[in-house]
């Protein structure tokens, strides 16, 4: 059972004390009632709207994350890394997201890429699966009879009744999925954060493939998800990127925009998320860099991309 919806980005707001989304307002549809933020841990089946990216989703299961502040990691003159302070620990959630919502510009195409295991020929790419920080969850209860999350796996993972609280109750299939995730994904997750001129850049890297190229040499494929958030009132536009990549041989990469776009970040749409990848020829490496951004008045600023570690053993030892 799929529902037809208007195609514009979802952002939550209140109308007559009920939770709505901007993409549904042309129909006058209320999606549910906002709940208070939970200080503890959300359970499997919790419905939410992403506070920064605006899409709807449902919690599959919670997981641990290590948050590295860029101020606590430095690159030494010899090119090695110095971790000054241990990372903070926070709760993140593996989530199933509404594919209609994430297809809109700027929302970020949430996907998980599972590293191939024994007997598998290539990594698995799963659209509509992602990770969300606890602080980015806007919890709600649904008041509509249609599925609250448009995704083919929703009915496999949950039973749904809008007249009950909680609306979504896990099926046995979700437990099987969780076991599979634990085999493929690193936990705790590594999350890297930097903030420059009020613009926050968050990076989450993931090892997705190891390809033998010689008898004693491999190629390591990493995917990294980057979220850029403008916390200022002043508009900026991302014009170019500059990368330093350490992982034999060292590389410097410059280019216009990101993933073919030069996103504008303003008060109406302050956040942009994208994914890209990098190939390394050593089992361990790291990356860092900067974005060049232009203000509305033409001034140019540099925004730091945090140093993030690409350590193969973080993934292979957990699988």
pLDDT of residue 113: 62
CA distances 87 to 8, 64, 73, 219, 272, Å, are 37, 12, 10, 28, 25
pLDDT of residue 263: 95
Distance of alpha carbon 223 from alpha carbon 218, whole angstroms: 16
> Among the residues of the chain, which ranges form H helices?
99-102, 154-157, 172-184, 312-316
pLDDT of residue 104: 61
Residues with Cβ within 8 Å of residue 33, at least 6 apart in sequence: 18, 19, 140, 141, 143
pLDDT of residue 114: 60
Query: Contact 306/297 with Cβ under 8 angstroms?
Result: no
Q: Given the DSSP bridges, would you call strands 199-214 and 271-280 parallel, antiparallel or unpaired? A: unpaired
Cα dihedral 266, 59, 69, 243 sign: negative
Query: Contact 113/124 with Cβ under 8 angstroms?
Result: yes
Distance of alpha carbon 18 from alpha carbon 6, whole angstroms: 19
Phi, psi values for residue 130, rounded to 5°: -155, -175
Virtual torsion, Cα 80, 81, 84, 85, nearest 10 deg: -150
Tokens of 133: 């920080």
Residues with Cβ within 8 Å of residue 55, at least 6 apart in sequence: 10, 49, 97, 98, 101, 102, 107, 108, 110
pLDDT of residue 110: 66
**What are the pLDDT tens digits along the chain (319 aa)?**
233 333 333 344 444 445 555 444 334 457 889 899 998 999 999 999 999 888 899 999 999 999 999 998 887 776 677 888 889 999 999 999 998 887 665 555 666 666 555 555 566 677 888 899 999 999 999 998 999 999 999 999 999 999 999 999 999 999 988 887 766 667 789 999 999 999 999 999 988 888 888 777 888 989 999 999 999 999 999 999 999 999 878 899 999 999 999 999 999 899 999 999 999 999 889 999 999 999 999 999 999 999 999 988 766 654 4
b/e map of 185-209 (b: 16 or more CB within 10 Å)?
bbebbbbbbbbbeebbbbbbbbbbb
Query: Contact 96/174 with Cβ under 8 angstroms?
Result: no
Tokens of 233: 């009132």
Q: Map out the domains of the chain with their CATH numbers.
A: 12-59+93-184 (no CATH), 189-316 (2.60.40.1470)
pLDDT of residue 151: 94
Q: How many Cβ atoms from other residues are within 10 Å of residue 315's Cβ?
A: 21
CA distances 39 to 32, 36, 90, 270, Å, are 21, 9, 12, 25
Three-state secondary-structure class, residue 184: helix
Residues with Cβ within 8 Å of residue 192, at least 6 apart in sequence: 67, 68, 70, 73, 202, 203, 204, 205, 306, 307, 308, 309
């Amino acid at each position: 059972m799929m529902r037809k919806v208007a195609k514009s980005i979802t952002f939550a707001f209140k109308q007559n004390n009920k939770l709505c989304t901007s993409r549904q307002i042309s129909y006058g549809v209320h999606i549910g009632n906002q709940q208070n933020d939970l200080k503890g841990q959300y359970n499997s089946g919790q419905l939410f709207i992403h506070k920064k990216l605006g899409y709807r989703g449902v919690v599959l299961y919670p997981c641990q994350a290590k948050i590295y502040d860029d101020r606590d990691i430095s690159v030494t003159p010899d090119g090695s890394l110095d971790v000054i302070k241990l990372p903070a620990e926070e709760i993140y959630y593996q989530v199933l997201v509404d594919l209609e919502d994430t297809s809109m510009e700027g929302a970020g195409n949430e996907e998980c890429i599972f590293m191939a295991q024994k007997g598998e020929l290539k990594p698995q790419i799963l659209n509509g699966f992602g990770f969300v920080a606890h602080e980015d969850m806007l919890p709600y209860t649904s008041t509509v009879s249609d599925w609250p999350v448009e995704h083919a796996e929703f009915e496999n993972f949950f039973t749904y009744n809008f007249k009950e609280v909680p609306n979504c109750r896990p099926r046995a299939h979700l437990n099987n999925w969780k076991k599979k995730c634990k085999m493929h994904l690193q936990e705790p997750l590594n999350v890297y954060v930097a903030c420059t001129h009020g613009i926050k850049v968050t990076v989450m890297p993931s090892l997705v493939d190891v390809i033998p190229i010689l008898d004693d040499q491999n190629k390591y494929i990493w995917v990294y998800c980057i979220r850029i958030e403008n916390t200022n009132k002043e508009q900026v536009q991302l014009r170019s990127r500059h990368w330093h990549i350490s992982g034999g041989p060292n590389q410097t990469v410059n280019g216009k925009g990101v993933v073919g776009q030069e996103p504008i970040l303003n008060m109406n749409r302050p956040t942009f998320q994208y994914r890209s990848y990098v190939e390394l020829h050593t089992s361990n490496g790291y990356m860092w860099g900067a974005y060049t951004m232009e203000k509305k008045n033409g001034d140019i600023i540099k925004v730091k991309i945090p140093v993030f570690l690409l350590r193969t053993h973080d993934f292979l030892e957990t699988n």
